[in-house]
């Protein structure tokens, strides 16, 4: 039982936290702009490497420079929309061109990271951490506590922003009905840029948390794209809190299928990403609205 909790359940929750921060951005962009942003994983990579540059420049620990990295990646997200996606938005409701363009943006972001930082795997810091024992049963690393705690704080802060602030309410209104929001006098461009900024900031946090937990690679964000989309669909499109819950389900499920339930793992760890694909396909077939009954476009 201790092996199950310490080696699988805790790791699944940590992985789910990383997925959550990316899935929230995906579901917000999909809910407001009505297209799947396939460059979101590489935006996570860009945010993680922006934090690495700040660590190199300042010499401070990565968590200290995380707010600055989130602000810079938020500006990057807004800039991507202004430079690439806005000119392609014809207002006709057809988004296939923008979806294809997002693949091109993903390649551009990845290539830019490789150009400035190289293709070698790196880390924020070297060395081992001593695990912390909770109630003499749960063993958890300090970095995992930081990842879980900060993810909860960010999700709660986002929920309060969407439900209490004027801009957050405008974002929810535009997600429900873009045309009606425009008629009501809501500045749609301001809302769109805010969605990109929030998505970019959370993507940076997710990329940094993944880098803290494992290592930095220029492919790290791209490899997370399918699980994050699965989490967004599982939670219900347009529901950020639902996306976070869906991400926890996906993250824990990926780890639990590698547990030796009957003496042997159900799946080899090399194939656990297939769980995300299976969840995504099953939901699209049997419950496209997700667990929280999100919208279907």
pLDDT of residue 244: 93
Judge contact between 259 and 16, C-beta under 8 A: no
Which one of 92-96, 253-257, 286-290 scores highest in mean pLDDT? 253-257
3-state secondary structure of 285: helix
Average pLDDT over residues 247-259: 88
Domain ranges of the chain: 2-119+137-286
Average pLDDT over residues 112-129: 88
Between 85 and 186, the more confident residue is 85
Lowest mean pLDDT among 113-122, 159-168, 171-180, 262-271: 262-271
DSSP 8-state secondary structure symbol assigned to residue 88: G
pLDDT of residue 94: 66
Give DSSP secondary structure letters for 108-156: HHHHHHHHHH-SS-B-S--S----EEETTTEEE-HHHHHHHHHHHHHHH
In b/e form, how buried is each residue of 105-122, taking b as 16+ CB within 10 angstroms? Answer: bbeebbeebeeebeeeee
Q: How far apart are CA 7 and CA 4, in angstroms?
A: 6
pTM over 0.85: yes
Confidence of residue 260 (pLDDT cuts 50, 70, 90): confident
Architecture of domain 2-119+137-286: Orthogonal Bundle (1.10)
Confidence of residue 296 (pLDDT cuts 50, 70, 90): low
Average pLDDT over residues 280-297: 70
Average pLDDT over residues 208-232: 93
Q: How far apart are CA 6 and CA 141, in angstroms?
A: 10
pLDDT at 297 over 60: no
Give DSSP secondary structure letters for 196-237: HHHHHHHHHHHHHHHHHHS-B-TTHHHHTHHHHHHHHHHH-T
pLDDT of residue 294: 56
Average pLDDT over residues 97-108: 94
pLDDT at 85 over 60: yes
Between 102 and 259, the more confident residue is 102
Give the mean pLDDT of the chain.
Answer: 87
pLDDT of residue 92: 56
CA angle 180, 182, 187 (to 5 degrees): 145
Confidence of residue 270 (pLDDT cuts 50, 70, 90): confident
Q: What is the pLDDT of residues 30-58, one digit of tens each?
A: 988 888 899 999 999 999 999 999 999 99
Q: What is the pLDDT of residues 54-82, one digit of tens each?
A: 999 999 999 999 999 999 999 999 999 99
Q: How far apart are CA 227 and CA 235, in angstroms?
A: 12
Q: How far apart are CA 230 and CA 16, in angstroms?
A: 12
User: What are the distances in angstroms from CA 119 to CA 105, 190, 255?
Assistant: 18, 36, 28
Average pLDDT over residues 181-201: 87
Q: How far apart are CA 93 and CA 224, in angstroms?
A: 28
């Amino acid at each position: 039982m201790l092996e199950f909790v310490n080696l699988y359940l805790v790791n699944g929750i940590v992985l789910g936290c990383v997925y959550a921060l990316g899935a929230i951005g995906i579901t917000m962009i999909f809910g407001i702009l009505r297209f799947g942003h396939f460059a979101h994983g590489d935006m996570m990579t860009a945010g993680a490497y922006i934090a690495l540059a700040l660590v190199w420049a300042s010499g401070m620990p990565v968590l200290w420079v995380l707010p600055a990295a989130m602000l810079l990646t938020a500006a990057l997200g807004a800039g991507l929309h202004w430079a690439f996606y806005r000119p392609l938005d014809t207002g006709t409701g057809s988004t296939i061109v923008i979806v294809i363009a997002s693949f091109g943006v993903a390649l551009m972001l990845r290539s830019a990271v490789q150009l400035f930082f190289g293709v070698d795997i790196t880390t924020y810091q070297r060395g081992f951490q001593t695990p912390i024992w909770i109630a003499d049963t749960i063993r958890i690393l300090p970095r995992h506590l930081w990842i879980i705690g900060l993810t909860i704080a960010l999700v709660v802060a986002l929920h309060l922003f969407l439900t209490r602030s004027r801009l957050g309410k405008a974002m929810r209104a535009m997600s429900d009905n873009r045309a009606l929001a425009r008629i009501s006098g809501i500045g749609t461009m301001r809302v769109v840029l805010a969605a990109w900024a929030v998505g970019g900031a959370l993507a940076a946090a997710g990329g940094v948390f993944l880098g803290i937990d494992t290592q930095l690679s220029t492919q790290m964000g791209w490899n997370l794209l399918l699980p994050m989309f699965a989490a967004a669909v599982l939670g219900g499109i347009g529901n950020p809190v639902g996306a976070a819950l869906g991400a926890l389900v996906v993250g824990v499920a990926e780890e639990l299928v590698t547990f030796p339930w009957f003496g042997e793992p159900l799946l080899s760890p090399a194939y656990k990403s297939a769980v995300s694909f299976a969840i995504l396909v099953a939901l699209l077939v049997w419950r496209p609205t997700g667990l929280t009954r999100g919208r279907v476009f």
